Structure 1
Amino acid sequence: MADNRMNFSITSNSQFPLAEIALDCSESVHIQSGSMIYHTPNVVLNTKLNAEANSGLGKFVKAVGRSLSSGEGVFVTQAVAQSNNGRLALAPNMPGQIVPLYLGEKQYRLNDGAFLALDGSASYVMERQSLGRALFGGQGGLFVMTTQGQGTLLVNSFGSIQKVELKDDRITIDNAHVVAWSKELDYDIHLENGFWQSIGTGEGVVNTFAGTGEIYIQSLNIETFANVLRPHLHIDNS
């Protein structure tokens, strides 16, 4: 693709969308584990260790360390087209929306579970967070996924996605509703009103953003939804 952008389409007439990606020869895309619905015979799925270019046991140890500290998987799936006109279809593991983010001048940080696909011309790094952010946040513990390079990132949500734009301003958002945000924004993950006030109001961990940039939020909260379902689930522990 001459413009270095992913060639994709997203079903727009469905509450449960899927994304279909077109790949020409040697083009590749990294995808969320378990998200593949179908692919054409000329698309090959490769499982790789989720670590930078070391080799052997050292690479495996590094991948395991990243998984334990960031919440990432030890392995990552890469789809590669062996000839032109390859097709690959993906769907999120939760009912929600799929939104493309175009990388280049803009780069983003991602919350847990937001990543769906990233084309082969772009990449991401895991940036270390402060201990306070790691203790309170949902962004993968000690590390947060940060994009780099040029290409297309597909993110998914639980529920619908809305973009919030800041222009030299501040906003506080429930951390469980955060999908992704501009790398340029400062962010502070903390309890809304201290420990006891948070228990009393039901508002727990929030994320305060400051500066100029974009924040993508999701309409539903997986933790709240799980609490709604819990009384209706009958688990046999015998």
Structure 2
Amino acid sequence: MSDNRMKYTIDANMQFPLVEIALEAGESAYIQPGSMVYHTPSVTLNTKLNGRGAGLGKLLGAVGRSMVSGESMFLTRAVSNADGGVLALAPSAPGQVIALELGDKQYRLNDGAFLALDGSAQYRMERQSVGRAFFGGQGGLFVMTTEGQGTLLANAFGSIKKIELNNQEMTIDNAHVVAWSKELNYDIHLENGFFQSIGTGEGVVNTFRGTGVVYVQSLNLQTFASQLQGYIVTSSN
């Protein structure tokens, strides 16, 4: 009988690995739109509006969530109608993939960190303070928070490092944050005030307090994008 828990493999021999998810009959997983690389014939991908309710209300809800949280209007659900189904995924940015087991531990995710979630787990968009929404990259007015039992696959730009806090405090550049324990308090702010941040080049940071873990990525997508600007040829028209 299907237990609907994700069975996956991450090829450690690949610098930028693919993730293969095994699905038995009736098992499902929610995946990042556009992340599918290949799948067997038994696996079907279904896209639906990321909202609750039905009809126009569901459409407006999905549009509203997309506008205020940066979350996609759509969800992609992979379902297998037979045993032995295989689905391969790859992140949109080159980097490492980690698996986080949900149950006693739950997590919050930064934008772009979500890759896949098995069908027995869920997530919700949790409202943030206006200050966090203004400074942070964690979903604008809302932040993705997991719940239930299952497996979450998160991806990063570059390598991932796990930082463990035991009733401690740590300040991390906001663009390097991937995911963190739900129990941690967090405060998104400028490192040294507006003018000092401009002078030092250190901008928005996230200070975590309490006991839990924070996963950080070694590369900064915003910095990388700015480095590429000088090599991009634009039309003079």
Q: Do the aligned partners of residues 144 and 237 (structure 1) sit closer, same or farther apart at CA in structure 2, a change above 3 Å counting?
A: farther
Q: In structure 1, how many angstroms separate the alpha carbons of the residues matched to 2:54 and 2:5?
A: 30
Counterpart of 2:5, as a letter, is: R
CA positional deviation for 1:43 = 0.5
CA distance in 2, matches of 1:71, 1:127: 13
Q: Distance in 2 between matches of 1:150 and 1:120?
A: 9
Specify whether residues 2 and 81 from structure 1 end up closer, same or farther in structure 2 by C-alpha distance, changes over 3 A only: closer
Structure 1 residues 114-172: Cα deviation after superposition (integer angstroms, max 9, x where no partner): 00000000000000000000000000100000000000000000000000000000000
Q: CA deviation at 1:11?
A: 1.1
Could you say which residue in structure 1 is the equivalent of 2:127? 128
Matches of 1:58 and 1:85 in 2, distance apart?
38
Is 1:112–2:111 an aligned residue pair? yes
Partner of 1:11: 11
SS in 2 for 1:138: coil
1:97 is matched with which residue? 96
Letter in 2 for 1:7: K
Number of aligned residues: 237
Superposition deviation, residue 237 in structure 1: 4.8
**Structure 1 residue identity aligned to 2:106:** Q
Secondary structure of 1:200's counterpart equals helix
* Structure 1: 4+ residue segments shifted above 2 A: 1-5
CA RMSD of aligned residues (A): 1.0
Superposed, 1:22-61 pairs within 5 Å as 22-52=22-52, 54-61=53-60
| Contact kept in structure 2, 1:19 and 1:89, CA below 8 Å | yes
Change (3 A) 1:147 1:237: farther
Partner of 1:171: 170
| Unaligned residue ranges in structure 1 (runs of 5+) | none
Give the residue type in structure 2 aligned to 1:232.
Answer: Y
- Deviations 1:163-218, CA, capped at 9 Å, x for gaps: 00000000000000000000000000000000000000000000000000010000
Render the CA deviation track for 1:53-100: whole Å, top value 9, x for unaligned: x01110110010000000011111000011111000000010100000
**Which residue of the partner structure matches residue 150 of structure 2?**
151
Q: Is 1:221 aligned to 2:220, yes or no?
A: yes
Q: Which residue of 1 aligns with 2:77?
A: 78
Alpha-carbon contact 1:4-1:150 (below 8 Å) kept? no
Assess if the C-alpha contact under 8 Å between 2:46 and 2:76 holds in 1: yes
Identity among equivalent pairs (%):
68
Q: Structure 2: where are the runs of 5+ without partners?
A: none
Aligned-partner SS, 2:67: helix
| 8 Å Cα contact 2:125/2:142 also seen in 1 | yes
Report Cα offsets for 1:23-77 as digits up to 9, x if no partner.
Answer: 011110000010000011110000011013x011101100100000000111110
Q: In structure 2, give the amino acid aligned to 1:161.
A: I
**Counterpart Cα distance in 1 of 2:76 and 2:234:** 33
